[in-house]
Amino acid sequence: MTIDPKKIRLIAFDLDGTLTQHKTPLDAQNRAVLDALSKNYRLLMVGAGQSSRIFHQMNEYPIDIIGNYGMQFCRYSKDSGSLKMVHDEVIPCDRKSVTERIDALRQKHGFTDYAGKSVEFHASGCVTYPLLGTDAALADKLAFDPDRSRRRAIYEDVKAAFPDFTVFIGGSSSFDFAPYPFNKYYSLVRYCKAFHLDHSEVLYCGDDYGPGGNDEAVYRSDIPFLCVDDYRNLAILLKEFIPHD
């Protein structure tokens, strides 16, 4: 898809793997990219985690943030230098049903030996299914499924067991569930409607666009998508959008 910078009004970003290394702060190089883009475009973060966590990981960069796959939305306040919550939706889940379904999946796929808890429930209603357990060693999690092939092999089974959630391959050894219909595309559609933007006026930048990735729904949609396979190349990928004095 050819993207005309003159038609774009909003540039939206994923965080980990797109603007930063996973779980690391925003570095000076990509902060400068955002600064340059902000001269001509509205900027937006679209994240899987809580807006406050994203804000702190970005070293409190002045930007509006969609969190929890659209369940949260925060505007940046120049006056206070902080985020102002616009909405924060909570959809309680049936914890007994979720636990039973995950126990059945563990039996089916052989993940019955785990450290800590079998399921992680979040206040928003989102759920994490950690295949190695909540207390697994970091080294074990990183070595478990680096190319995601083990989780992709069972992804359809996990999705089928949780039709009331949107299921993503998350982190290094887990699945993440967001209450249906929340996902990043759904959240962008709501944002565009609220701010009177046509989908063709939005550019989304993400790295997790493969099967089960949390950017996949946007990648497969009508919103222009920029594939970021190395966050260190972001300035090169967006060079046509960056103004030059």
> Cα separations (Å) of 186 from 3, 57, 178?
22, 24, 12
Question: Is 1 or 169 the better-scoring residue by pLDDT?
Answer: 169
Percent of the chain with pLDDT over 70: 99
Fold of 95-179: 3.30.1240
Give the confidence band of 2 by pLDDT, cuts at 50, 70, 90.
confident
Determine the average pLDDT of the residues in 78-87: 96
Q: Break the chain into its structural domains and give their ranges.
A: 5-89+183-237, 95-179
CATH class of the domain whose range is 5-89+183-237: alpha beta
Q: What is the pLDDT of residues 187-204, one digit of tens each?
A: 999 999 999 999 999 999
pLDDT score at 22: 86
Q: What is the pLDDT of residues 7-36, one digit of tens each?
A: 999 999 999 999 999 889 999 999 999 999
pLDDT score at 75: 98
Average pLDDT, the chain: 96
Give the confidence band of 245 by pLDDT, cuts at 50, 70, 90.
low
Q: Does the pLDDT value for residue 1 go beyond 80?
A: no
Determine the average pLDDT of the residues in 85-89: 97
Determine the average pLDDT of the residues in 78-88: 97
Determine the average pLDDT of the residues in 168-186: 96
Q: What is the pLDDT of residues 112-162, one digit of tens each?
A: 999 999 999 999 999 999 999 999 999 999 999 999 999 999 999 999 999
pLDDT score at 243: 86
Question: Is 243 or 136 the better-scoring residue by pLDDT?
Answer: 136
pLDDT score at 36: 97
CA–CA separation, 36 vs 30, rounded Å?
A: 10
pLDDT score at 114: 98
